[in-house]
Amino acid sequence: MLGRRKIRSCVLCALAALALASAAAAESLSWRRLGGSGVAAGLAGPAGGSVQDVWFSANGRTLYASLQGGGIWASTDLGLSWERADSAAADFRAALESARQVGGSATMVRNPYRAGVAYALGEHLYRSDDGGGEWTNLTAIGGNSLIGRWQSALAISPTDADVIVVGNSMGLWKSHDAGVTWSSLNARLPNFPTARFLATSPAAAPSLAAPRLGTLELIRTAAGRTWRATTGSQSAESGIPLAERTDPSITASFLPSGYAVSHRVWRDGKPVSPSLTGCASETGCAGQAISAFAAGNGLWAGTSNGSIWFSPDGANWERVWSDPWGSAVTSLWTGIGPQAAALATAGGRILRSTNGGRSWFDITSDLPDSSWTAVQGHPEASAVYVAGPLGIYFANVDLAQPGPAGSWSAITGDLPGGSVDDLAIEPSRGRLYATVPGFGVYWANAPRLDLALRALSSADLAGRPAAPGGLLTIFGTEALSARAAGRPAPILEAARGRTQLQVPYAVEGDSLRLQLEAGDTSHVLDLPLAQVSPAVFIVDGEPLILDASTGALVGWHRPAKAGGNVLIMMAGLGAVHPPWPAGMPSPNSVAPRPVAKVQALLGGVPAKVASMQLAPGYVGMYLVELAIPATATPGEAQLVIEADGQPSNAVGLVIGR
C-alpha cells in the first residue's frame, strides 16, 4: 500500500482545494459553468440551438451566424473561435437573398461559384450537380440525420466553393467537401439549446429538457464534462389531438413525465382538466394556452390570458387568481403541503400566496419592470429568486405568512449575456442553477440558503442519515459546542456560517437529536440515524480516489490502471475495531477497521476490496483499497461501495489500459 505520508499529502491537497473553493464561493456570488455550450446527441459532433441564418463576408474571410436569440456571431477561422458581431446584420441580406429561390417546402441555394451546382434546404440537405434535375441527400443516414433536421440556412465560401456551412434546428455545421463529410461548429459557438430544468439532486448535476433533444444529462468524458441528450422525454405531447394543439411559443413546456398541456391539462394522452383559458370551444381561441405549470401539493396551471388554476387531485380544478389586465402567467413555483406557499410571475409582477393559493399578494416591490420568466422560492431561508431578460434578482420574503417583501437585489454577477431563461434550487448544497441563453448552465452559492439550518454528509454534501463516527456539515450556524444523543460531539471546524462535527461512535437507534450551542443561540436538529451511511468524498464534483501506487488523484487526465489498486476516501462506514474515540485522528500504524461488511460494485460487477481502515491522521475518514480487475474495460465505470448492504453515492472511476 502507498506510504501513509504520501496518502496524507495527496488528500490534504484535494481537501484544501475544496475548502478554498467553498470559501471563495461564499465570499462573492461567482458563477461557474456546468459542461459546455454543445450537446452530445448522436450527430456528427455536438448539437446546439436553432440557427436563423449563416453567411460569409464578401472576401470570404469572416463567417457570420445569426442565432435563435437574435445575436450575431463572427468567426475568422471557420468556427474555431467566435466574437459577438451584431453590427454586421445589415451588410449581408441583399447578397444572401439573391442567391436563394424559394419553392415548395424547401429553399434552393444556387452555388454562384460553380455552374449547375445547387442545394435544397428542407428536412434534410440535398445537392444537385445538374441545375436541379437530380438531387442527392447529403445528410440522411439510416432514417436519421447526420447534422439534425430542418435546414434553415446555407453559406458557400467565396474562396472555396466546396466549403459550405449549414444552420438548422440543431446548430451550425461545416463541410469541406461540398457535403460529403460534416463537422460541428457548436462546441465553441455560444449556442446552447433552449432548455429548462427538470430536476436537481444533491449528488449530481441537474437534468434539463430541450425541444427536439429530450432530456439533457451531464456526463464526464476525456474532454471534460459535457451534456448528453436522451430522446423521448417530450412524447406526452403526441397524445394531444392536432386540432387542440396550441402555439408552442406560449404553451408551457418541460412538464413532469406523462403531462402535456394545450388549453387543457393532459396526462398520459387523456385530458384531466376542462379548458382553463375560458374558451367556449376546445378547438378555438388562437393565441391562448396554458403558459405555466407546477406540481407540488397538487397541480397548478397558469394561462396566457391571466389565470391561475389549482387542482388537489388532478380532477377537480378551481381558479384561484385572475389578472384584471389579462397578463400571461409566465412561471409558477409551489412548496409542499396543503397550506404550502406558491409563487407566480405575470405581467412583470411577482405574486405570493402563503395559504395554498386561496389569496395572493403582489411582492414586486422595487423589482425592475421586466418580463420575468422564472421564479423559485425557499421557505426555510425566506428567499425568492426571479429571472428574465434583466438577469437574476433576489429578495428576502417570508413564505410562511403574509408580510411586506424585502428589497430586491441583482445577483446576476459575472453571468455572460445578461438574460436568464430558467432557475432551479438544490437546497442541500445551497446551489442556485441558471440556464443562460446560448451560453449554457451555470451555478452559484445562493444568497440566504447558507443561513438555512440543515445537516448534510460532509463527504458529498447530501442529505443522508447520520452514522456512528460520521462527519456532518451543519449549514446556518457556527457552533461552539455540540451534543449528539446527549454525548459530546467533537467540532472540527466552525467558520463561514458552517460547522463540521463528528458524530460519536457510541450512538444507537434510528434517530439522532443534535444540540448545537452558538453563543447566545441554541439549535436542535432531529436527524435519521443508521449504523452505516456510506459516502465517497467528492471534491469539486470529482470523487476523491487515489492511485494506490503513486498517490495521484484518478481522473480522465490520469486514469487508474486495470489490474492496479485505488484508494477511496469515504465517510459513514460506522463503528470500528478496536474502538476509537471521536474527534481524535486515526493512528499512523494499526489503524482501526470498520466493523461493517464492505463490498464494492464496479460497473455493476463485484470487485475485490483489498483493505479498509480509518484514514491515518484523519478524523472520521475511512480509506478503502479497491483492486481493479485486470479485465476491466477502459473508460469510466460506475463505482458503488456498500456497507452492510447500504450503497454509497455512485461515482465514476476512470480506468485506462
59 and 483 Cβ atoms separated by less than 8 Å: no
pLDDT for residue 196 is more than 60: yes
Q: Please report where in the chains the cell 396526462 appears, as a residue.
A: 267
Cell numbers found for residue 151: 435546414
pLDDT for residue 14 is more than 70: no
pLDDT for residue 229 is more than 70: yes
Could you give the count of Cα atoms lying within 13 Å of 111 in the half-sphere of its Cβ? 26
Report residue 237's pLDDT band, with 50, 70 and 90 as the boundaries: low
CA separation for the pair 481, 518 (Å, rounded):
7
pLDDT for residue 24 is more than 90: no
pLDDT at residue 89, as a whole number: 55
Report residue 178's pLDDT band, with 50, 70 and 90 as the boundaries: very high
pLDDT at residue 338, as a whole number: 67
pLDDT for residue 7 is more than 60: no
Report residue 280's pLDDT band, with 50, 70 and 90 as the boundaries: low
pLDDT at residue 427, as a whole number: 83
The sign one gets for the Cα dihedral 248, 253, 254, 255 is negative
pLDDT at residue 343, as a whole number: 95
Total Cβ atoms within 10 A of residue 236: 18
Q: How far is CA 362 from the centre of its chain?
A: 30
Q: Quote the pTM value.
A: 0.82
Which domains are present in the chain? 49-184 (no CATH), 196-451 (2.130.10), 469-528 (no CATH), 534-656 (2.60.40.10)
CA separation for the pair 563, 31 (Å, rounded):
40
pLDDT at residue 401, as a whole number: 86
Mean pLDDT of 306-313: 92
Mean pLDDT of 84-113: 61
Work out the percent of the chain whose per-residue pLDDT is above 90: 59
CA separation for the pair 109, 606 (Å, rounded):
58
pLDDT at residue 10, as a whole number: 45
Report residue 480's pLDDT band, with 50, 70 and 90 as the boundaries: very high
Query: For 642-656, what is each residue's pLDDT tens digit?
Result: 999 999 999 999 998
pLDDT at residue 12, as a whole number: 42
Work out the percent of the chain whose per-residue pLDDT is above 70: 90
pLDDT for residue 21 is more than 70: no
Task: Assign 140 to helix, strand or coil.
Answer: strand
Phi–psi pair at 516, nearest 5 degrees:
-120, 135
Total Cβ atoms within 10 A of residue 193: 29
pLDDT at residue 108, as a whole number: 85
Could you give the count of Cα atoms lying within 13 Å of 612 in the half-sphere of its Cβ? 25
The enclosing H or E element of 98 equals helix 93-98
pLDDT at residue 404, as a whole number: 82
pLDDT for residue 3 is more than 60: no
C-alpha triplet 519, 525, 529: angle, nearest 5°: 135
The pLDDT mean for the chain works out to: 87
C-alpha triplet 265, 266, 268: angle, nearest 5°: 155
pLDDT at residue 100, as a whole number: 44
pLDDT for residue 222 is more than 70: yes
Cell numbers found for residue 257: 413525465
DSSP state of 368: P
282 and 263 Cβ atoms separated by less than 8 Å: yes
pLDDT at residue 585, as a whole number: 95
Which residues, listed in sequence order, are joined to residue 263 by a DSSP beta bridge? none
More confident residue, 278 or 603: 603
pLDDT at residue 13, as a whole number: 43
Report residue 27's pLDDT band, with 50, 70 and 90 as the boundaries: very low
Q: How far is CA 615 from the centre of its chain?
A: 33
Q: How far is CA 239 from CA 244, 262, 313, in A?
A: 10, 11, 21
Query: For 322-368, what is each residue's pLDDT tens digit?
Result: 998 889 999 999 987 767 899 999 999 999 999 888 899 999 999 99
pLDDT for residue 238 is more than 90: no
Lowest mean pLDDT among 72-76, 167-171, 227-231, 440-444: 227-231
Mean pLDDT of 28-52: 89
Cell numbers found for residue 118: 445547387
Lowest mean pLDDT among 10-24, 325-339, 518-532: 10-24
pLDDT for residue 373 is more than 50: yes
pLDDT for residue 56 is more than 70: yes
pLDDT at residue 95, as a whole number: 43
Cell numbers found for residue 637: 465505470
Report residue 88's pLDDT band, with 50, 70 and 90 as the boundaries: low
More confident residue, 268 or 625: 625
Q: How far is CA 602 from CA 99, 594, 599, 607, in A?
A: 57, 21, 10, 6
Report residue 605's pLDDT band, with 50, 70 and 90 as the boundaries: very high
Q: What share of the chain is helix, strand, coil (3-state, %, to 5)?
A: 10, 45, 50
